[in-house]
Amino acid sequence: MKLSVVIPVYNEKNTILELLSRVRDVDLTKEIIVVDDFSTDGTREILKTLPPSDDLKVILQPQNGGKGAALRTGFTAVSGDIVVIQDADLEYDPAEYVNLIQPILANKADVVFGSRFLGGPHRVHLFWHYVGNWMLTTLSNMITDLNLTDMETCYKAFRAEILKKVTFRENRFGFEPEFTAKVGKARYRIYEVPISYSGRDYSEGKKIGWKDGVAAIYFILKYGFFD
């Protein structure tokens, strides 16, 4: 079994090297696919200086397209059996890959969501962010007839073969509701597992805001009813 870790990156110069070190420390056969989404803070230059390595692919986007666009680019380079999506901001712990992919390895699941709200340790902050996440997950569940606790989680693991059967289109954070709606409609076996979460606040570089939440409602409705 080979794991493909796809990492979309935008302006994470302070965390990208530490994140790569943590991913490499995971004792699994894996490839690391980093897609820089036209960073302007020096992240791109850091990635350019990394020495060639068999386990690392660095792809530089020609322009900023958003998380979804970076993921689609990364997906084209996948050669593993299972894909894990990893943000570059250290909010999610790569040491939990083993637990995340276990339901797939046990042939119980095709897709696994790592939930921040199933009891794992997490930093306590941003109440309204939590409320917004709950509202979006609830709306998504009402439409998809799933019972997820964390639709917006970064940690999504899935069989790589799904990429041959499902087409993703959204460029930015609309990827999350699009992914959820499409794997739900396709009747893939979906599991959730608890994960830890060390969330950042906006002064520390958190990028998603209320406008993304409003947009997410549109995408939940779009992919739930019309696509």
pLDDT at residue 124, as a whole number = 60
Q: Tell me the whole-structure pTM to 2 decimals.
A: 0.92
Residue 158's pLDDT is 98
- Residue 5 is predicted with a pLDDT of 98
**Averaged pLDDT in 10-residue chunks for the chain of 227 residues:** 98 97 98 98 98 96 97 98 97 97 98 90 69 91 96 97 97 93 97 88 54 84 87
Q: Say what the pLDDT of residue 106 is.
A: 98
Gap between the Cα atoms of 171 and 148, Å rounded: 23
- Residue 200 pLDDT: 52
pLDDT of residue 203: 47
Structure tokens at 77: 């380079």
The domain total for the chain is 1
Does residue 6 contact residue 163 with C-beta atoms inside 8 Å? Answer: no
> CA 26, CA 93: separation in Å to the nearest integer?
10
According to the model, what pLDDT value does residue 216 have? Answer: 84
In this structure, what CATH number is given to the domain that contains residue 17? 3.90.550.10
Residue 110, pLDDT score: 98
For position 207, what pLDDT does the model report? 53
- Residue numbers of the domain that contains 132: 3-226
CA distance 89 to 105: 27
At residue 214, the pLDDT reads 84
